[in-house]
Copies of this chain bind each other. A is one copy, B any other.
Amino acid sequence: MGVTIKDVAKAAGVAPSTVSRVIADHPRISEATKKRVKKAMKEMGYHPNANARSLANRSSQSIGVVMPSSADKALQNPFFPEVLRGISGIAHKMDYSLLLATGETGTEMLEGVERMVYSNRVDGIILLYSQIDDPVINFLLEQNFPFVIIGKPSERIDEITHVDNDNVSGGREITKHLISLGHERIAFIGGSTDLIVTVDRMRGYQMALEEAGLPYLDEYRVHTEFLKSGGQQAVNELFALPEPPTGLVIADDLMSIGVVNMLEECNKRVPDDLSIVSFNNVYLSEITRPPLTTVDIHIYELGVQAAKCLIAKVKDKTEPAKRIIVPFDIKYRSSTKANEAPTRNI
């Protein structure tokens, strides 16, 4: 069916290997024949067969991207499309293809990754999440397969190339902001503590409280998928406390939106009755009501850096494990307000 390298070679009056060299942009080849071959390729509508190349080359020029999907709507978080955009931009530029593996369950995701690796379909893998004791990471490590994770590995941190924010500082800064506004009873709402990102952000929250001499209470921490049943109740309990919080640090913008909505139902207004801050600065956080004060983690850039790292690593297997911290900054918007009844001065 298709035009092959041989056809082109014949037409241009050269050997197939010469054509191959032209494709690869090999240096030692005369301009004259290069031009001639290229002309023939154009005329005949030649396009290299990637599978044949990969086979001969032992390299697929493509990278795998693994993302959680699942029942719990994780994938609906605009974080993913945005990070994908970043990855995709670089991949495109460097002439890499993107293979997607998603899975509803951990098993499915592992299967997907195994398939990618075993079948030689990808040269490297980017993980879009990081959780404790992840079989996917163990597998990749075991296979000594190039990969980078977006987020922070829970173990063997020095062996694993990763691109992350300084979530502890982010949590600290944003909490300090709340404190500077006079809030003293500040609660934290986050997802599963199996996710490193939750843990880090919470640690920052804790640090800020301690530095300010404010109490770090168990009752002020709720971990919940939130979006699931039970999540609402957990939040309700927070406000049933004798001393309910006046400020909320929430680990994710999307959760914030849910919380704002819930509060509204209880006749609590943000920011009048309660200030909230969160993380990610997804596009929605700007158009929602109120616009959210949030830590902008530069999602797109996370994707860009991860792709660059991975490609570098794929090209040169001896690249050492790296750690790249993408700086954050804080978007001050209107979900926060000075606390009107502080019990002391700051």
- In the complex, the answer to whether A284 meets B76 with C-beta atoms within 8 Å is yes
- In the complex, the answer to whether A47 meets B85 with C-beta atoms within 8 Å is no
Copy number of this protein in the oligomer?
Answer: 2
Chain B residues with CB under 8 A of A108: 92
A89 to B109, CA, bound (A): 11
- In the complex, the answer to whether A121 meets B50 with C-beta atoms within 8 Å is yes
When each residue 57-89 of chain A gets 1 if its CB lies under 8 Å from chain B and 0 otherwise, what string results?
Answer: 010101001000100010111101110110011
Assess whether A112 is interfacial by the CB under 8 Å rule. yes
Assess whether A20 is interfacial by the CB under 8 Å rule. no
List 6 A-B pairs, minimum CB-CB distance, nearest first: A47-B118, A50-B119, A51-B54, A75-B81, A98-B100, A51-B55
Task: List 10 extra interface pairs beyond A51-B51, A85-B102, A261-B289, CB under 8 A.
Answer: A49-B119, A51-B54, A51-B119, A76-B78, A80-B81, A84-B100, A88-B100, A258-B287, A288-B288, A289-B289
How many residues of chain A are within 8 Å of chain B by beta carbon? 59
Show the binding face of A for B, using Cβ within 8 Å. Answer: 1-2, 47-52, 54-55, 58, 60, 62, 65, 69, 73, 75-78, 80-82, 84-85, 88-89, 92, 97-104, 108, 111-112, 115-116, 118-121, 227, 254, 257-258, 260-261, 264, 282-284, 287-289, 291
With contacts A55-B51, A102-B85 taken as known, whether A73 is within 8 angstroms of B119 at the C-beta atoms is: no
- In the complex, the answer to whether B120 meets A49 with C-beta atoms within 8 Å is yes
CB within 8 A of A121: which of B88, B92, B97, B289? B97
Name 13 interchain pairs, CB-CB below 8 A, sorted by A: A1-B58, A50-B119, A51-B60, A52-B55, A73-B283, A75-B84, A76-B282, A76-B284, A97-B121, A98-B99, A227-B283, A261-B288, A289-B289
A272 to B5, CA, bound (A): 69
Question: A113 → chain B, closest Cβ, in Å?
Answer: 12
- In the complex, the answer to whether A287 meets B76 with C-beta atoms within 8 Å is no
- In the complex, the answer to whether A227 meets B287 with C-beta atoms within 8 Å is yes
Question: A145 → chain B, closest Cβ, in Å?
Answer: 12
With contacts A81-B81, A257-B284 taken as known, whether A69 is within 8 angstroms of B50 at the C-beta atoms is: no
